[in-house]
Amino acid sequence: MVDAHQDVFSRTMCGEGMPAFYSEGKYVDHSCEGFLLPLIFKQFGICNSIKDYGFHLDKNGWPLVEECTKNFFVEYYPTAESMTAFDRLYKNVNGIQDKFIAYWDLVARTFAGNPYIVGYDPINEPFMGDFIADLKLLIPGYMDLHRL
């Protein structure tokens, strides 16, 4: 059984991505289809798996937090798992985007009128997703217009 507090951010990807129950193998395929230059990408850590880091795992099979925090968090964004997870959020695979919106709608309604809340950022530093499968995501502004 997974502790509820551990599901807030996907421990399967060192805290990056989405709730753990949406980032397991049955939801995220952990692959980067459409590789153009696989050897070059691998050299730069692009589309590697989080498993390639060789982290020790906890009882849930997730990388240990103390090992994950040895690297800057943005290093995990171009992993196969993270790129796939962001794609699935943006494309609403399995209704994840609908649930994401419903969650933040509830948060907003819960805290509406609180004089100590100025605002909130429901998706801080969004990653573009699988730019290998869709190179247009590398064009400035394309991701904002077509994904956000």
Q: Which residues are catalytic?
A: 125
CB 60 within 8 A of CB 50: no
CA dihedral of 55, 58, 62, 63, whole degrees rounded to 10? -30
Token pair recorded at residue 14: 């060192």
How many angstroms separate the Cα of 68 from the Cα of each of 9, 41, 85, 97?
A: 13, 21, 18, 26
88 vs 112: CA distance, rounded Å: 29
